[in-house]
Amino acid sequence: MTAREKAIAAHRALVDNTSKLSSFGQRGISVETVRAAWVGYDAGSGAFTYPCITRGGGLLGIHYKGEGRDEKGKRRQWWGGYAEDLPAKGHGKKPDDPAKVIPFGLETLTDLKHGTPVILCCGEEDALSVRQAGYTGVSQAGAGLLEPAYAKAFEDLEVVVFYDAGEENEARLDATKLLEAGVKGARVVVWPTEAPHGSDINGKLVEDPEGFEDWLADMIAAAKPPDYLPVGDAGRDGDPDTYVPTVPEPTTWPVLDEEALCGLPGDVVKTIEPHTEADPVAILASLLAAFGNAIGRGAFFRVGADLHHLKLNVALVGDTSKGRKGMSWAHVRELMGAADERWTEERVLHGLSSGAPTHVQHVYREMQDRGLSTRTVQYTHAVLRRALKQAKRWGMVDRNVAEDVDPPRLERDEIQPLNREQTRRLLEAAEGDRLHALYVVAVTAGLRPGEILALRWSDVDLGAGTLQINRALSGGEFAATKTPRSRRKIELSNTARAALRAHRKRQLGEKLKKAGLWKDHGLVFPSTVGTPLSHRNVVRSFKALLKRAGLPASTRLYDLRHTCATLLLNSNVHPKYVQELLGHASISQTLDTYSHVLEGMDGGIGDAMDAAVG
């Protein structure tokens, strides 16, 4: 998961967790303020996350602050998710080292009105409190530690440095850095001498929420130039604050025992490892996860969000591997028996590396017994056959047992297009949905789901009322269309043009709201942060739409393409035009696919002949 994805996931985790949000409410900070700042919560580390974003929208790093506090009321804090292109520090003994203490909120410095002051605080909660009062608030993690590389982001702005009580000297130092970086003006807030060390902006909000805005305005108005401030301790009560970054204890990376590299998986890992930067643990985990997706569920152990199934060892190694590789079958059998005794006793015969095709046949049958589709079994067979073919070529196995197995034959699924009334109900129920235009395009233009998800605005000409199909999204990757015929130009209906115009307007608003995290791919139907939309998420939304519309739950997203074709053919549109719209290789493919569901195609030949010769 990339740093950007981690920040987004943490933000979603926070806004969906009322108890975690309440900790901000207790500090007087509203939910709206938290959401606008993309603050998050990482359950794995028990810390709140503050993504540090540039004025241009790039993510520089994530500042973590522990949820708990020590006996002095301090929280653990550390950094993670650094960008690879952090600017150099430009000072100190190692000026070329990256500047890793990054301000939070630099993205708010764009498009400010002339004369609008920027409040530089020392703490994210302080910056959020300032924003809630209507100011532009940025947080510097550690008073006096502002990096000159980031001070440049404030160029030509008016900045008021408002650190905690007792940190006036550090504020003076950072204000001087800002002036050297070319800010229009820099002033420093001086706390009253009676304010103890550590008094901060957010503390004042909690103490006096009704009078907070007036107090804040008065403190900012009274800010002084940095050269005006006296140097030295103001004699405050309490201990001066210090910034000490901490990091969680690093976890120990696992080392594989020799037994883990037995059988075919071990051979694959040993072959791949010299050619990759990944270590054996990562390679083996990837191999087992990939194969697990093919053979299905079963007992598993969890690694993060991934489930690694015990049946993988059984399928790839098997009981007879003991004599060849020294791996004990007893442990695998014991684990498998605890989870699924029938599978262990009746299905497991031999591992693939032992050369027994009957085992593969049993795996396929077991997959079908569990309700997996014939196509899934065929995909599994194709992947396995190619893998074992390569293994045989490398001398890792003596035979490709998959070549001696017959996968189940695929029976053609009967299509389930919607009729006119059902289509009307579907589109009415979709009005107001974020993906309304997607469903309209699917029904009226007959695109495949992968083609829709790969559409770019550069492929759409709303003025001319056309769109160009050049690629498709498959397996999370953009690729060329299914066939050369699939590359085609489509004339849009007026309904589709209107839906796409409304969709583009809504998307622009969404893009502005999430400017800091939006990753623009130019897609017509992206995720909520601009990235390619997951087919699985679209299907989930589509199933919810079917329920709202009162339509059969068995209807697939792909059936909207079939709906388009059948509606046109039943409206007496020539099959040749429908073929070109769908991108079929031939007109016979179109007629073979839809003839059995078309009105008037169910016989009547005898009557027609009587009429012709009678």
φ, ψ (nearest 5 deg) of residue 469: -100, 115
pLDDT at 319 over 50: no
Kindly state whether residues 372 and 300 are assigned to the same domain. Answer: yes
Question: 262 pLDDT exceeds 50?
Answer: yes
| Partners of residue 79 on adjacent β-strands | 63
Mean pLDDT of 476-497: 85
| Residue 390: burial class (beta carbons within 10 Å; 0-12, 13-18, 19+) | middle
User: For residues 155 and 181, what is the distance between their CA atoms, to the nearest angstrom?
Assistant: 6
Q: Do 339 and 267 lie in a common domain?
A: yes
Beta strands at 117-121 and 158-162: parallel, antiparallel or unpaired: parallel
Would you state the pLDDT for residue 77? 84
One domain for residues 295 and 385: yes
Domain boundary among 181, 212, 228: 228
State the amino acid at position 284 in one-letter form: L
> pLDDT by residue (tens digit) across 431-458?
999 999 999 999 999 999 999 999 999 9
pLDDT at 73: 62
> Sign of dihedral through CA atoms 345, 351, 352, 356?
negative
456: CATH: 1.10.443.10
DSSP-H helix ranges across 515-586: 535-549, 559-570, 575-582
Q: What is the pLDDT of residue 17?
A: 79
* pLDDT interval class at 283 (50, 70, 90): confident
Q: Which two tokens stand for residue 451?
A: 């083609």
pLDDT value of residue 302: 52
Say if residue 247's pLDDT is above 70: no
% the chain with pLDDT above 70:
74
Find, among 481, 419, 427, 428, the residue nearest to 452 by Cα.
Answer: 481
| Domain range enclosing 81 | 3-228
Chain-centre distance for alpha carbon 411: 35
* Rounded distance between C-alpha atoms, residue 433 and residue 546, angstroms: 12
209 and 348 part of one domain: no
Residues 6+ apart with CB under 8 A from 13: 20, 40, 41, 42, 43
Q: Is residue 250 part of a domain?
A: no
Q: State the Cα angle at 324 between 322 and 329, rounded to 5°.
A: 15
> Residue 283 falls within a domain, yes or no?
yes
Mean pLDDT computed over 216-234: 76
| pLDDT at 326 exceeding the cut of 50 | no
Residue 42 CA to residue 81 CA, distance in Å, equals 13
Range of weakest confidence among 186-190, 340-344, 485-489, 582-586: 340-344
- Quick one: 588 exposed, middle or buried, by C-beta within 10 A (0-12, 13-18, 19+)? exposed
- Nearest of 144, 140, 97 to residue 122 by alpha carbon: 140
* Three-class SS of 460-498: EECCCCEEEECEEEECCEEEECCCHHHCEEEECCHHHHH
Average pLDDT score, the chain: 79
Please report the pLDDT score of residue 300 as a whole number: 55
> How sure is the predictor about 26, in pLDDT bands with cuts at 50, 70 and 90?
confident
427 shares its domain with 382: no
Shared domain for 393 and 426, answered yes or no, is no
User: Where is the domain boundary, 210, 228, 246?
Assistant: 228
Task: Say yes or no: 146 and 91 in one domain.
Answer: yes
Q: Name the band, by pLDDT with cuts 50, 70 and 90, for residue 341.
A: low
Single-letter amino acid, residue 21:
L
What is the arithmetic mean of pLDDT over 167-192?
88
Three-class secondary structure of residue 240 per DSSP: coil
- Domain-embedded: residue 251: no
Helix (H) or strand (E) holding 77: strand 77-80
Q: Does residue 409 sit within a domain?
A: no
Integer Cα distance of 229 and 563 in angstroms: 75
| Contacting residues for 357 by C-beta, under 8 A, at least 6 apart | 401, 402, 404, 405
211 located within any domain: yes
- pLDDT exceeds cutoff 70 at 191: yes
Same domain membership, residue 51 and residue 10: yes
Q: Quick check: 596 pLDDT over 80?
A: no
Task: Give the CATH number of the domain where residue 311 resides.
Answer: 1.10.150
Are 22 and 9 spatial neighbours (Cβ–Cβ below 8 Å)?
A: no
What's residue 322's pLDDT?
A: 37
Q: State the pLDDT confidence band at 599, using cuts at 50, 70 and 90.
A: low
One domain for residues 431 and 561: yes
Separation between Cα atoms, residue 119 and residue 4, nearest integer Å: 26
pLDDT for position 321: 40
- For residue 116, tell me if it sits in a domain: yes
User: Which range is most confident: 282-296, 369-383, 548-562?
Assistant: 548-562
- Give whole-number Cα distances, 544 to 443, 471, 556, in Å: 17, 28, 12
Q: Is residue 247 situated within a structural domain?
A: no
Helix (H, G, I), strand (E, B) or coil at 15: helix
Average of per-residue pLDDT across 405-426 = 82
pTM beyond 0.85, yes or no: no
- Residue 239 clears pLDDT 80, i.e. is over it: no
Q: 3-state DSSP call for residue 457?
A: helix
Pairing of strands 477-480, 471-474: antiparallel
How many structural domains comprise the chain? 3
Most confident of 105-119, 176-190, 506-520, 594-608: 176-190
Task: Note whether 74 and 197 are same-domain residues.
Answer: yes
78: nearest Cα among 93, 61, 94? 61
Cβ-contact 14, 20 below 8 angstroms: yes
602 within domain boundaries: no
Write down the pLDDT at residue 490: 92
Domain end marker among 228, 243, 272: 228
Residue 74 and residue 161 in one domain: yes
Same domain, 382 and 494: no
Does the pLDDT value for residue 350 go beyond 50?
A: no
Which of 594, 538, 534, 550 minimizes the C-alpha distance to 570?
A: 594
Residue indicated by tokens 């209906």:
493
